[in-house]
Amino acid sequence: DIAEPINANRDEPLESGDVLVIDTLSDDWYITKSTKPYDTSIAGIYTSNPALYMGTNVQIGVQHNFTSKAPLEHNGKVPLALAGQVPVKVTLENGIINKGDLLTTSSTPGHAMKFTLLDPEEAIDFNDLKRILAVNEQRRNSILGKALEPCNQGFCKIIALVTLQ
């Protein structure tokens, strides 16, 4: 995977596999754990062992000594996976996850869930159809990536292909 160091909320413990979003409540720019479904401020996944780590010096294939829990000892920054194959925490909040399913943020802090769209055919009138289409458009801007492994129990850590939208 490809990762870049990014400022993290120092008051929040982060772990490898956490889904991270841009902290929209802070005056400064930080990332923090995701806490709401279909969050369009999605940033990526905390990764503990990136294959390509970009920063002041790009490092390829170097073993990094990031722990599974981010100590924020690298100037308050954590490695944020921007692309590639990365372990991610998931929940079945939106149904069983199969290989190839799109993933998005969930209401479980730091976890992804299966991405779904609302069915326009279930609209009861034109205004409801407009609402459904607007919700679906917003949801499309919250895609984290694709599941490369299934999950059929409450919580899992699976490999995802990060493809931020």
Q: What is the mean pLDDT of residues 119-144?
A: 96
Q: What is the pLDDT of residues 85-97, one digit of tens each?
A: 999 999 999 999 9
101 C-beta neighbours (distance < 10 Å), count: 21
The tokens describing 14, both together, are 């982060």
Residue 39 CB-half CA count within 13 A: 26
Work out the pLDDT band at 98, boundaries 50, 70, 90.
very high
Q: Characterise 75 by phi-psi region: left (phi > 0), alpha (psi -120 to 50), beta (else).
A: left
Q: Whole-model pTM above 0.95?
A: no
Supply the DSSP string of 42-81, one letter for each residue.
EEEEE-SS-SEE-SSS-EESPPP---SEE--TBTTEEEEE
Q: What is the pLDDT of residues 12-52, one digit of tens each?
A: 889 999 999 999 887 778 899 999 999 999 999 999 888 88
The tokens describing 107, both together, are 């209401």
Residues 40 and 144: beta-carbon distance below 8 Å = no
What value does the mean pLDDT of the chain take?
88
Q: Is residue 108 pLDDT above 70, yes or no? A: yes
Burial of 55 (0-12, 13-18, 19+ CB in 10 A): middle
